[in-house]
C-alpha cells in the first residue's frame, strides 16, 4: 500500500526552504462553556463540526475546550 504522506527524500525536496502551513491553535468545540456557538452538543452537531474541520485548508487545530461538563453534571476546568 502506498504511503499516504509524502516524504522529503530527494535533495531538491530537502533544500527548498520553509514550508508554510495554516494552523488554528484556538478553536472551541461543541459543548464548551465559555464560547459555545454550536448549541446543544449532539451527535449531529459533532458530525457537522468534524466535517467542517476536515474540509478546511487548515492543517493543525488546537481545540480550546475548557470548562466543559463532565459526566454527572460536574464542571471540569475553570
**Under 8 Å between Cβ of 33 and 75:** yes
Query: Any idea where the domains of the chain sit in the sequence?
Result: 20-76
Q: Supply the pLDDT for residue 8.
A: 56
List, for residues 8-48, the tens digit of each pLDDT value: 567 676 777 888 899 999 998 888 877 778 888 899 999 99
Q: How confident is the model at residue 1 (pLDDT cuts 50, 70, 90)?
A: very low
**More confident: 72 or 26:** 26
The contacts of residue 22 (CB under 8 Å, 6+ apart) are 57, 58, 59, 60
Could you tell me the pTM of the whole model? 0.61
**Number of neighbours of residue 27 by Cβ within 10 angstroms:** 17
Amino acid at each position: 500500500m502506498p504511503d499516504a504522506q509524502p516524504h522529503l527524500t530527494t535533495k531538491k525536496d530537502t533544500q527548498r526552504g520553509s514550508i508554510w502551513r495554516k494552523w488554528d491553535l484556538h478553536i472551541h468545540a461543541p459543548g464548551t462553556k465559555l464560547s459555545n456557538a454550536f448549541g446543544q452538543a449532539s451527535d449531529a452537531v459533532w458530525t457537522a463540526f468534524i466535517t467542517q474541520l476536515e474540509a478546511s485548508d487548515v492543517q493543525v487545530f488546537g481545540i480550546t475546550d475548557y470548562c466543559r461538563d463532565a459526566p454527572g453534571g460536574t464542571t471540569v476546568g475553570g
